[in-house]
Structure 1
Amino acid sequence: MFMKKRKILVTVLILLTIFILWILEPVSMNPYGKIEIPQAQSEINFNGKAPGLTMRMDFEKKANELLNDHMNSGHFLGVSVGVSKLDFGSYVASAGFMDKWERKRANNDMLTRITSITKPMTAIAMMQLYERGLIDLDVPIQMYLKDFPKKSNGDITIRQLLKHTSGMPHYDSGWDAMSFTHYPTLKDAVGYFEGRDLIFDPGTKFQYSSYGYTLLGAILEEVTQMDYAVYMKRHIWDVAGMTKTGVEIGTMEYENKTKGYLKIGSRFVKSPNTDLSIIQSAGGVQSTARGLLKFGEAVLGHRLIKSSTLDMMVNATDQLAPAIGDDPYGFGWAVYDDPKYGRIIQHGGAQPGTSTFFALFFDHQVISVVLSNSFGTRQDAFALTMVLPIWRWKINEESKSVVNNFLESIKLYI
């Protein structure tokens, strides 16, 4: 009996040791300790319309310093960032580690889960169908998904799904947000939650819902008779020039893809490998910082939808989201009207293995993105996204005042 208990104890200790080593991989880098942190490596590609060489060098230097400050403060394990201004050019940079165990540094084309930045992409795809007359935003969704059960609260519309006012629930809990089941189609994914009750009458309140955007993806597939990934590649990603963007499929291995981590206190531990197929059209896409800059440029350049349709998407005049303390929400975009810097349309998100933020400074035609490979770093991703575009306020002035304005703008966000 004693020997049996001893064997059980030894087995438990071995399993516990393996688990600890797995999540800490390796212990010496939690936190960084004496390990040298890979600093910012950047590329700047401005064209002839941009400010002069001195200004470009000042911008790159200040942007790199800002990124390095975040790394040296332990805000990120690995991160890739980008900033661009329509018709001027772009800046991309990376710092930290994409693989902690092998001490492999992050790079500027590091493939990362983009989380809910997927939602504005899906919303734009739906508005493409709207422009073609293939969908009506205000009819019951059973017009397109005949098998979706009617709800006693009332009919759900595409407009309500786009604006998170349908009453569709979000995740029940943190565990509900971590799926390890692979769903072959979006219709199969809808089957997981279609029996749940609405949490309010459609159109009366705001409740952010990733499952609502899974429904939108299923509608897109039904209307177009195309797989979501195929449609998005053909009509969104290829048009924008996003060559390294696609749907993450299960546990498939991808070239130059970062490993994912969780930030717990000051430590970064290995993230579980969740399956994103249940929220494919809500948060199942992977891309690069460079790719998301191209997406932003395609949006602002009206290469995906008409300018009038984009105006419709970013109209957030209803008060349903602010009523619960959230930013006004249009079709797939959180919309913020800054009294000094104008309209900002944005989206961010977090999943096991990543935190992201993406912003279009609408009135200044500037795009900014931060992709972190660690859950628990979303606020830092937001802060960095907001202050990286140090040229955005005085882009036409050939003077160092741009940098001075950048230093002033930091005070707004930090």
Structure 2
Amino acid sequence: MSNASRRSVLGMLAATPLAASGLVAASGGAAHAQRSEPLRTYKEYVRELAKKDLFSGVIMIAHRGRPVVAEAFGMADKKLGIRNRLDTRFNLGSASKPFSTLAIVQLAEQGKVEFYDRLGTYLTGFRPEVADKVTVHQMLTHTSGMGSLPWDPDLITYSREEALGITAKALRGGELQFPPGTQHQYGGAGLDALGEIVTKVTGMSYWDYVHEHIFDAVGMTGSRYYTRTEWLADTAIAHPYMLQADGSRVDALRDLKASAVIGGPGTNPARPFIGGPSVGAFASAPDLVRLGRALDNHTLLTGPYTDLYVGPKFPAAPPPGAPSPGTARREAFQAYGLNSTIMGDFRVIGHGGGVGGGNANWNVYLGHGWTGVVLSNYDLEAKLLMEILGKEREAITAAAA
């Protein structure tokens, strides 16, 4: 499977303290026991994977901000003997894309960005066919035709300035893959351009804006765009363990020469000095639960703009191997940087991501109060990841019934 297709496949805590792990108890008698059994089955399923060393990371299912399944497996740093914990932070890969689009919708609500504006309204140096034709709306929905940036998988960057310069140059040399608005093609270039727009209209770096107006605003205290230096120094951040052809796993953070086999073949997520608008933020499972609650409660945007942010914009087929909806009817759409799916009685938003040595996925069941999070510092085969997510969905929909 190609790197692009794999990414397409991948592509709120209240004040109550977390239990250390496991299934959090609650009252409710027989009815509660019946609802709890699918949650317990899901946890045991992942536990068996971890025993076979097929999964390392954290799973969490929360209802109205309160975790009902919360368990950590495996090691965050094998060399130092540090285990994954519920609050361990993981590289989200593309599961961080919705942060850049959320920032743009916040600025649109403030009247600082217009969805119909062309890219050239805000930024200079792009090819005329890009600057004059691509709209903010199209970049938000992967319908701009900008595709993904060309990149050197072996490139190692050493500063924010270097990373910004390389991205800016690549963006301005990019050509359209199709006329804007005529197709839907998942990619990162439009998101990277949106990040530049955030900086242009706010006077803040993209990273500072997201840290202040998204992460800090909802108490996502462990979520950041960490630099490689910070990643190495902070024992609360999981190291990525990339699967190799011989079945072994290598610590990508400590071995920048090592390359992924299935998580973006040929890449290493630690080579970039810092992530950006299209990939590479870090978060813990509790922080993503907080994010889900904030979106469900209209904390980051008013009600109308939350609806605008999460609402379907463009029909999108489910990724290959996506969990079966069973007897429920499924309609999948692209929202503003999010996947927005109608599945039976549920409206589910979220995003997934995969890097060498890592997978991440978060889903919010709008109006029902449920959030599901899977974070791993192993790169997982797409089939296995989809199986895990299918089990998570079964557990949540059964518990919500």
Cα deviation, residue 51, structure 1: 9.8
For the aligned residue pairs, the C-alpha RMSD in angstroms reads 3.2
- Residue in structure 2 matched with residue 303 of structure 1 by the alignment: 299
- Residue in structure 1 matched with residue 280 of structure 2 by the alignment: 284
For residues 114 and 282 of structure 1, the distance between their equivalents in structure 2, rounded to whole angstroms, comes to 11
Give 1:328's match in structure 2, choosing from 309, 326, 333.
333
- TM-score calculated relative to the size of structure 1: 0.75
Q: Aligned residues, how many?
A: 353
Q: Does 1:256 align with 2:236?
A: yes
Cα deviation, residue 268, structure 1: 2.2
Cα deviation, residue 283, structure 1: 1.2
The higher-RCO structure (CA 8 Å, 6+ apart) is 2
1:81-120 to 2 correspondences below 5 Å = 81-86=59-64, 88-120=66-98
Letter of the 2:342 counterpart: D
Of 127-136 and 362-371, the range deviating more from structure 2: 362-371
- Residue in structure 1 matched with residue 121 of structure 2 by the alignment: 143
Cα deviation, residue 342, structure 1: 2.3
Of 221-230 and 263-272, the range deviating more from structure 2: 263-272
8 Å Cα contact 1:167-1:203 kept in structure 2: yes
Q: Deviations over 1:65-89 (max 9, x none)?
A: 122122134422x211211122555
Letter of the 1:72 counterpart: K
For residues 200 and 130 of structure 2, the distance between their equivalents in structure 1, rounded to whole angstroms, comes to 24
Q: Does 1:316 align with 2:315?
A: no
Give 2:156's match in structure 1, choosing from 170, 180, 198.
180
- Residue in structure 2 matched with residue 269 of structure 1 by the alignment: 250
Q: Deviations over 1:366-411 (max 9, x none)?
A: 11111110224454344323423666335577xxxxxxxxxxxxxx
For residues 154 and 204 of structure 2, the distance between their equivalents in structure 1, rounded to whole angstroms, comes to 27
- CA 1:383–1:82: 2 relative to 1, 3 Å: same
Of 278-287 and 363-372, the range deviating more from structure 2: 278-287
SS of alignment partner, residue 137 of structure 2: helix
- Residue in structure 1 matched with residue 328 of structure 2 by the alignment: none
SS of alignment partner, residue 312 of structure 1: helix
For residues 50 and 176 of structure 1, the distance between their equivalents in structure 2, rounded to whole angstroms, comes to 58
Letter of the 2:310 counterpart: V
- CA 1:259–1:396: 2 relative to 1, 3 Å: closer
Cα deviation, residue 141, structure 1: 1.3
Q: Deviations over 1:136-155 (max 9, x none)?
A: 11111121113334226951
Cα deviation, residue 260, structure 1: 1.0
SS of alignment partner, residue 346 of structure 1: strand
For residues 89 and 201 of structure 1, the distance between their equivalents in structure 2, rounded to whole angstroms, comes to 45
SS of alignment partner, residue 129 of structure 1: helix
- Residue in structure 1 matched with residue 47 of structure 2 by the alignment: 68
SS of alignment partner, residue 139 of structure 1: coil
8 Å Cα contact 1:115-1:350 kept in structure 2: yes
- CA 1:59–1:262: 2 relative to 1, 3 Å: same
Letter of the 2:198 counterpart: L
SS of alignment partner, residue 375 of structure 1: coil
- CA 1:396–1:251: 2 relative to 1, 3 Å: closer
For residues 334 and 243 of structure 2, the distance between their equivalents in structure 1, rounded to whole angstroms, comes to 28
- Residue in structure 2 matched with residue 406 of structure 1 by the alignment: none
Cα deviation, residue 220, structure 1: 0.3
- Residue in structure 1 matched with residue 221 of structure 2 by the alignment: 243
SS of alignment partner, residue 161 of structure 1: helix
Letter of the 1:343 counterpart: R
For residues 219 and 369 of structure 2, the distance between their equivalents in structure 1, rounded to whole angstroms, comes to 18
For residues 267 and 375 of structure 1, the distance between their equivalents in structure 2, rounded to whole angstroms, comes to 12
Letter of the 1:354 counterpart: G
Cα deviation, residue 45, structure 1: 5.7
For residues 251 and 128 of structure 2, the distance between their equivalents in structure 1, rounded to whole angstroms, comes to 41
Give 1:350's match in structure 2, choosing from 341, 354, 361.
354
8 Å Cα contact 1:247-1:285 kept in structure 2: yes
User: Whose Rg is larger?
Assistant: 1
Of 109-118 and 263-272, the range deviating more from structure 2: 263-272
Of 271-280 and 107-116, the range deviating more from structure 2: 271-280
For residues 115 and 154 of structure 1, the distance between their equivalents in structure 2, rounded to whole angstroms, comes to 30
In structure 2, stretches of 5+ residues that fail to align are: 1-18, 257-268, 323-331
- Residue in structure 2 matched with residue 384 of structure 1 by the alignment: 388
SS of alignment partner, residue 194 of structure 1: helix
Letter of the 1:274 counterpart: A
SS of alignment partner, residue 257 of structure 1: coil
For residues 162 and 168 of structure 1, the distance between their equivalents in structure 2, rounded to whole angstroms, comes to 11
In structure 1, stretches of 5+ residues that fail to align are: 1-39, 398-414
Identity rate, percent: 23
Of 267-276 and 283-292, the range deviating more from structure 2: 267-276
For residues 324 and 292 of structure 1, the distance between their equivalents in structure 2, rounded to whole angstroms, comes to 22
Letter of the 1:347 counterpart: H
